[in-house]
Structure 1
Amino acid sequence: MKYAILGAGAMGLRFGVLLQQAGYPVDFVDTWKPQVGTIRKQHGVYISRDGKGRHLVKVNIYSPEEYQDHPDIVMFEPKQMGLDEMLKRCKHFFNDKQYAITFMNGMGHIPKIDKYFDKSHVIGGTAMIATVLNKAGDDNFIGKPGSGSCHICKQDGKPGKVTKELIKEFQKANLNPHYTTNFIGMFLNKLLLNSVGNTLCTAFQCNMGQFISSPASKPLSISLINEAYDVCERAGIHLLNDRQTEWQNMYHAAKYAMPEHYPSMCQDMFKNRPTEVDYINGYIYRLGLKYHYVAHNQKMAIDLVHLAESLHKIKK
């Protein structure tokens, strides 16, 4: 199948380059002019792995208005705050035969995508894959080839021919897909991981390994995890993992899988971009309020990140 990756950032490039290397046609569409201009000027994107082996990979990239093709799969990978603009500027090449898939962090994107694609053609996904965009046109894949994995679930819970074909192609691209039938639970489990590691590393401007090496990391993490599970139970949301497994996954990711990694939220702050904390911890906090539960730890985490953002700008 042919793919259009909407949002050629760190993760968009990783998915697209791996699919392209597996033999599938891929186009990239981005609204960030420096990214489009740089990749065109250097005739591709520079890819390294764990900071080594930097090499140029030829790719096709367009601004939304320039792109006129009709891909089979439209993959959404912008930041949450950029999705509305991306949808509006790309709607001219959407059609009712296409399938939309997204691995965006946070929550709030699915209802927006549903306005442009039938729910039977919308596939959600979460990824345990770390990548760093060093600068425009330069992406660093974290982890050995074949490392990382992703979960996929069709919104209507009915995986058909296209979904099964997509999973096969993702397997060939070494993206290690796993299909689940729990659409909302899949998103919330990843959201919970991000609400701990992403948020606390950003608040204290440290990488995953530095965070997990502190004795304070466990009680801080467990307090956020437990509170999030309390919210989900009140909302009637069944998660893929139990509380203990969620902490163990968090610990393993920080301690062994990606100790040198600065989460995407932290990367955004370092580059003076808005963070997605209001779409991650903020979602949990607002969901709690809906069910008359005040998630005080989530609110404090949100405030700590916004404080860190303000202090970082002052230092600059």
Structure 2
Amino acid sequence: MKIMAKIAIAGAGAMGSRFGYMLQKAGNDVILMDNWEQHVETINEKGLTVDDNGQTQVIQIPAMAPRAVKEVQDLVILFTKTMQLKTMLEDIKGTIGKNTAVLCLMNGLGNVDVIEQYVKKQHIIVGVTLWTSELVGPGHISFTGSGSIGLQNIDPREQDRAAKVVSLLNAAGLNATLSTDVTTDIWKKACVNGTLNSLCTLLDCNIEEFGQLKEAPQMAREILNEFAAVAKLENVTIDVDEILTSLQKLGDTSQAGAHYPSMHQDLIQHHRKTEIDFLNGYVAKKGKANGIATPYNTLVTQLVHAKEQILVEDK
């Protein structure tokens, strides 16, 4: 893969649009793929409006429904919602050729099992990202601060492919590195999302506001203790104190403090269903199947689903 490449973003919401914007600025041929018609139409008619650390600009970048993209890409980045992953993979078959790398940077647990049903193992690269972005409205994103990416090829023989993707991302300023244990990285990211995403959504607050609550550390610890117990089933060790320290740092306004997590954006701001079943719900379901008590994650999952019943349109 050359540094300049054909790249398709599968799921062009807040994060997908930010990555598409940064990768196109670096000279790549980028296309945004999304099923939100108003979002796609706005981008094509007016451009993508980007509030980049206080500076607003409009960039021209093509956007299409996933099924409409037939050209094989060098790289496909999966940013769709986990509950929509199977449909997305069906829709984008035409973009994946014999040399296409498929990078999953989605939130949630269990994504690789789904991707392997549609994509050859040697093509799959999985990662976690600490970049943030917010969807202001159709065709309009806003973000501040920086971030990073850790990624790894799931086929041990394909490290060269992953290294080329790292180079491609870094040429766009996306601060990517090769991970040696991406499974643990994914669980750690899920721990962060399983506390901040779900609790900020239920409490209708941003990360800084959550961190200022006197109850925050104990609530987070109870949730994380259950994550750690279930993670052991997959031979993953979670240091709860380490995650709590990370959460505290993220609450700083120089980091992600002013950011409303993606679940809050989906449910509270845009009245869309969430990925709760692939975060707290995943822990609750796997815990129940293996005799591990998960009362906090079970309750959080139930509360988010109840909130969905209240807010989500077309119930």
TM-score by length of 1: 0.92
Residue 90 of structure 2 contacts residue 118 of structure 2 at CA under 8 Å; is this kept in 1? no
Paired positions, count: 307
1:247 equivalent in alignment to 2:251:
no
The Cα shift of 1:17 comes to 1.1
Per-residue deviation, residues 255-296 of structure 1 (Å, max 9, x unmatched): 341121111001111211001111110111122223211211
**Structure 2: distance between partners of 1:65 and 1:75:** 15
Amino acid of the structure 1 residue aligned with 2:27: G
- Residue matched to 2:182: 183
Per-residue deviation, residues 32-68 of structure 1 (Å, max 9, x unmatched): 11111111111x2000024x22110110112223212
**Structure 1: distance between partners of 2:66 and 2:234:** 39
Amino acid of the structure 2 residue aligned with 1:204: L
* Matched residue SS, 2:235: coil
The Cα shift of 1:178 comes to 2.2
- Residue matched to 1:131: 133
* Matched residue SS, 2:128: strand
The Cα shift of 1:159 comes to 4.3
The Cα shift of 1:190 comes to 0.5
* Matched residue SS, 2:118: coil
**Structure 1: distance between partners of 2:143 and 2:133:** 5
Please give the residue correspondences for 1:48-63 in structure 2 after superposition, counting only pairs within 5 Å: 48-50=51-53, 52-63=54-65
**Structure 2: distance between partners of 1:309 and 1:278:** 12
Residue 119 of structure 1 contacts residue 156 of structure 1 at CA under 8 Å; is this kept in 2? yes
In terms of mean alpha carbon deviation, does 15-24 or 272-281 score higher?
A: 15-24
1:104 equivalent in alignment to 2:106:
yes
**Structure 1: distance between partners of 2:245 and 2:73:** 39
- Residue matched to 2:260: 262
Unpaired segments ≥5 residues, structure 2: none
**Structure 1: distance between partners of 2:175 and 2:119:** 26
Amino acid of the structure 2 residue aligned with 1:111: D
**Structure 2: distance between partners of 1:267 and 1:309:** 13
**Structure 1: distance between partners of 2:95 and 2:158:** 24
* Matched residue SS, 1:293: coil
Amino acid of the structure 1 residue aligned with 2:136: N
The Cα shift of 1:215 comes to 0.9
Residue 102 of structure 1 contacts residue 125 of structure 1 at CA under 8 Å; is this kept in 2? yes
**Structure 1: distance between partners of 2:151 and 2:228:** 22
Amino acid of the structure 1 residue aligned with 2:256: M
**Structure 2: distance between partners of 1:133 and 1:32:** 12
Please give the residue correspondences for 1:86-101 in structure 2 after superposition, counting only pairs within 5 Å: 86-101=88-103
